[in-house]
């Protein structure tokens, strides 16, 4: 930790456009300002809410704790977090369970904040922050006992490759646990067009896709916990916080960014309310 690892060179396999678009977006100062302030700055993923007015930070941390309970972590475990963002999940896992965590992420802006927060919490000995693309993991087979990801796989243009890579680096007897905003298996054509256009994607994964990908990679589906109502609640809460702190957000991220974000959040809420989206926790075992 503390150095830039895994930066690409001429031998790095070609990445999908979606992955490079995600890097450009999250490296932007307007996006970084928004996620660091409005979204909570530690865990920038979907939360599990005890009540509608709960803070985004508390609900997001509950997601991390709920996922960790599925894995039974210990100090002997090595974890890789695919699309780790600011590393809040890694710090929770390292502090609570004593495990070692590798944060792999394409945004060096987010990685820099991750390293800073990790150092402030005295966890640099357990957490390594690596610049990398989860479509082409720079690790040998069976390197990690747990593969972890939260609401990041949607940013891949080749999710089948990500699932193959996750299975490859997971040890025999290990576990893959992840969440991802997904299109419902029965979503109508065009129902997600406003969402996809906002995040510059052509599709989302679906529960059926991830079940099939698990089977194709020799993984066993232990469970899928459908938590879809929390997706709609989460994006509603983020929109509420953005509107409540709109003047600060416009100062930090600019008018154009805030206008686009408000419209985008409403698209997520509408799509979730209409039944076009699914969100929950997948737990896959590698035998």
Residue 150: strand pairing partners:
179
Average pLDDT rounded to a whole number, residues 166-176 = 98
Give yes or no for residue 68 having a pLDDT over 60: yes
Q: What is the pLDDT of residue 54?
A: 93
In percent, the amount of the chain with pLDDT more than 90 equals 86
Structure tokens at 45: 């993923």
Residue 277: strand pairing partners:
183
Q: What is the pLDDT of residue 40?
A: 74
For 154, 181, 270, the CA distances from 191, given in Å and listed in that order, are 17, 14, 10
Q: What is the pLDDT of residue 3?
A: 32
Q: What is the pLDDT of residue 111?
A: 96
- Low-confidence winner among 10-19, 183-192, 214-223, 248-257 (lowest mean pLDDT): 10-19
DSSP of 96-129: HH--EEEEEES-HHHHHHHHHHHHHTT-TTTEEE
Q: What is the pLDDT of residue 13?
A: 58
Give yes or no for residue 102 having a pLDDT over 80: yes
Give yes or no for residue 2 having a pLDDT over 50: no
**H or E stretch including 174?**
strand 170-179
For 141, 152, 190, 196, 232, the CA distances from 271, given in Å and listed in that order, are 38, 19, 11, 11, 8
Q: What is the pLDDT of residue 69?
A: 96
User: C-alpha angle 31/60/130, rounded to 5°?
Assistant: 60
pLDDT-derived band at 198, boundaries 50, 70, 90: confident
Q: What is the pLDDT of residue 159?
A: 96
Give yes or no for residue 57 having a pLDDT over 50: yes
pLDDT-derived band at 189, boundaries 50, 70, 90: confident
Q: What is the pLDDT of residue 7?
A: 39
DSSP state of 189: T
Other beta carbons less than 10 A from residue 248's beta carbon: 13
Chain centroid to CA 7: 20
Give yes or no for residue 274 having a pLDDT over 80: yes
Model confidence over 133-167: pLDDT tens digits?
Answer: 999 999 999 999 999 999 999 999 999 999 999 99
pTM for the structure as a whole: 0.93
User: What is the sign, positive or negative, of the torsion defined by CA atoms of 174, 180, 185, 190?
Assistant: negative
- State the Cα–Cα distance between residues 159 and 196, nearest whole angstrom: 15
Give yes or no for residue 97 having a pLDDT over 90: yes
Contacts of 108 (CB under 8 A, 6+ apart): 4, 27, 131
Give yes or no for residue 237 having a pLDDT over 80: yes
* Residue recorded with tokens 């932007």: 28
127, 87 contact by CB (below 8 A):
yes
Give yes or no for residue 10 having a pLDDT over 50: no
Give yes or no for residue 9 having a pLDDT over 70: no
């Amino acid at each position: 930790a503390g150095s830039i690892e895994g930066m690409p060179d001429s031998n790095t396999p070609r990445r999908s456009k979606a992955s490079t678009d995600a890097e450009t977006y999250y490296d932007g100062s307007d996006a970084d300002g928004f996620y660091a302030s409005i979204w909570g700055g530690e865990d920038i993923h979907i939360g599990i809410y005890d009540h509608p007015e709960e803070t985004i930070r508390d609900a997001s941390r509950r997601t991390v704790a709920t996922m960790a309970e599925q894995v039974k972590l210990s100090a002997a475990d090595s974890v890789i977090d695919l699309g780790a963002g600011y590393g809040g999940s890694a710090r929770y896992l390292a502090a609570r369970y004593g495990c070692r965590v590798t944060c792999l992420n394409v945004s060096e802006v987010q990685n820099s904040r991750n390293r800073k927060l990790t150092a402030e919490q005295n966890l640099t000995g357990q957490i390594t922050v690596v610049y990398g693309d989860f479509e082409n993991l720079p690790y040998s087979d069976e390197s990690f006992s747990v593969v972890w990801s939260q609401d990041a796989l949607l940013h891949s243009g080749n999710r089948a490759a990500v699932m193959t890579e996750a299975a490859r680096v997971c040890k025999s007897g290990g576990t893959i646990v992840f969440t991802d905003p997904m299109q419902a298996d029965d979503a109508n054509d065009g129902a997600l067009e406003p969402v996809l256009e906002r995040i510059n994607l052509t599709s989302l994964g679906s529960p059926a896709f991830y079940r099939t990908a698990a089977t194709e990679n020799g993984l066993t589906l232990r469970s899928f916990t459908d938590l879809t109502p929390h997706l709609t609640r989460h994006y509603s809460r983020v929109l509420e916080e953005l509107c409540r702190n709109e003047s600060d957000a416009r100062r930090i991220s600019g008018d154009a960014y805030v206008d686009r974000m408000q419209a985008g959040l409403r698209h997520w809420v509408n799509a979730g309310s209409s039944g076009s989206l699914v969100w929950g926790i997948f737990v896959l075992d590698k035998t």
